[in-house]
Amino acid sequence: MCADPGGGYWNGLVLVVSRAFAILLLLAVLSGCTGGRVSIPVVNKSPDRVIPEAYQAAGGDSIYKIAWAFGLDYRDIAEWNNLDEPYAISEGQIIVLRQDGVKAVKDRPKSVVQVLPGKPEPQPVRQVSAQSTGTGKQVGFASSVGKWKWPAEGKLVMHYSPDKGINGIQIAGKEGSPVRATADGEVVYIGEGLRGYGKLIILKHSGNYVSAYAHNRDIQVTEGQKIGSGEQIATMGNSGTDTVKLHFEIRKSGNPVNPEPLLK
């Protein structure tokens, strides 16, 4: 004989069926989410990112490029690896990336270092249209000596916003227009080895500062060249992106800083 429809039997049966259906639904959703290949960035730029103990240098690497990719101070990398200027490294060399990794890497044979990531690549520069971000205000080269100068002329279309993964500013301009050094410095990196930056130039300045200029068309300087403030180093282009613009960053001791207060 069937139990009373108002009794505990039917209530318990409904609860069991509901739970089973919920589990099946959850499994289906998880299966769908993991069915495709998920692209995971090699380098995590969040404040709580985990930096590996070491990295195996590839051809064309320098400690400036590696420091930029991992958000480190190049001077720390030089100290941890006992490198003296000009900080030459060779392909296949194990580069320590953490102070606590010095002993660990030293005590293990090179062939068993398992913590090396692939080629260091920061997350791509976010592509945002000029209509949806920034103020669109006109910016240009500073005339007074001793100040950080604007690196290009055009419209400021993206502001520094580290919470959104934007570690610099972007200036939209005309293809072929000048890109200039924001301050006196030395060219320490030229290349296309960092995904999302296109043709990139990194300048080392006196003190703790390094600046970067991305998406260039033509490079007009060479590595090791001393550059004066306001001197042209490249022409604006769209390498590594879909619009003509300059992506510009300043880092102090390896950490991104807002360029705008320095440029005013």
The model's pLDDT over 211-227, given as tens digits with 9 standing for 90+, comes to 999 999 999 999 999 99
Cis peptide before 162 (omega within 30 of 0): no
Question: What pLDDT is attached to residue 233?
Answer: 98
In a domain, 100, yes or no: yes
Q: To which residue do tokens 């606590």 refer? A: 100
Question: What pLDDT is attached to residue 165?
Answer: 86
In a domain, 218, yes or no: yes
| Beta-strand pair 232-236/154-158 | unpaired
- Let me know whether 148 and 211 are in one domain: yes
Q: Which of 159, 163, 175, 144 is nearest to 241 (CA)?
A: 175
- Let me know whether 245 and 142 are in one domain: yes
- Side-chain half-sphere exposure of 214, counting CA atoms within 13 A: 25
pLDDT at 166 over 70: yes
Q: Which residues are CB-neighbours of 232 under 8 A, at least 6 positions away?
A: 178, 179, 180, 220
Q: Which of 88, 123, 158 finishes a domain? A: 123
Number of domains in the chain: 2
The rounded Cα 22 to chain-centroid distance in angstroms is 40
The residue segments making up the domain with residue 149 are 138-263
* pTM as predicted: 0.71
pLDDT at 249 over 80: yes
Q: Which of 123, 146, 178 finishes a domain? A: 123
For the stretch 105-127, pLDDT in tens is: 666 655 434 434 444 444 444 33
In a domain, 232, yes or no: yes
Minimum mean pLDDT range among 19-28, 146-155, 247-256: 19-28
Max avg pLDDT among 5-14, 172-181, 198-207: 172-181
Q: What share of the chain is helix, strand, coil (3-state, %, to 5)?
A: 20, 25, 55
- Let me know whether 149 and 108 are in one domain: no
Q: Chain-wide mean pLDDT for the chain? A: 76
Question: What pLDDT is attached to residue 52?
Answer: 81
Minimum mean pLDDT range among 1-5, 37-41, 75-79, 239-243: 37-41
The mean pLDDT value for 123-135 works out to 41
pLDDT at 81 over 90: yes
State which amino acid sits at residue 140. Answer: G
pLDDT at 22 over 90: no
- Let me know whether 147 and 239 are in one domain: yes
- Let me know whether 172 and 246 are in one domain: yes
Q: pLDDT: is 145 or 36 the higher one?
A: 145
- Let me know whether 199 and 245 are in one domain: yes
- What DSSP line would sit under 156-217, residue for residue? EEE--BGGGTB-SEEEE--TT-EEE-SSSEEEEEEES-STTS-SEEEEE-STTEEEEEESEE
- Provide the pLDDT confidence category of residue 143 given band limits of 50, 70 and 90: low
Quote the tokens at residue 222: 């060479």
- Provide the pLDDT confidence category of residue 256 given band limits of 50, 70 and 90: very high
